[in-house]
Amino acid sequence: MSEEKNPETKASPEEEKSKEEKSEAVAEEKKPDIKALEKERKEIIQKMLRIQKEFMELERSKGVTEKDIHHNPQGIVKEYKEEHEKLANRLVDIAHELKGSIRT
């Protein structure tokens, strides 16, 4: 008589251990590299501050207004705005990765 496993019976300790090891391995693969994300976050913040400082200088020297920024930005203003938005979005993505949440 061959032994067939009954689906209602519990798995052997070895099988349970194997399942736990597999789930831990999958969880480790999904974990973000926290140090790398923290480093990238700091670099992004430094870039954003540099952009803001350069933009403030441009604002003082060229008289850039809120209207120039938000309504049909052109030239260097458009470049600053696009770069700042790109960095800000990446910063939000990093924050979600660090907290283990999803961006909606």
User: What is the count of structural domains for the chain?
Assistant: 1
Is position 16 within any domain?
no
Which residue stretches of 13-74 are H helix? 13-30, 34-62, 66-70
In DSSP notation, 74-93 reads -HHHHHHHHHHHHHHHHHHH
User: Which residue segment(s) compose the domain that 45 sits in?
Assistant: 32-99
Band of residue 7 on the pLDDT scale cut at 50, 70, 90: low
**26-72 confidence digits (pLDDT tens):** 455 567 789 999 999 999 999 999 988 988 888 889 888 777 777 87
Give pLDDT, residue 22: 60
Is position 20 within any domain?
no
Query: pTM to 2 decimals?
Result: 0.63
Is position 81 within any domain?
yes
User: How many residues make up the chain in this entry?
Assistant: 104
Q: Is the C-alpha dihedral spanning 7, 8, 9, 13 positive or negative?
A: positive
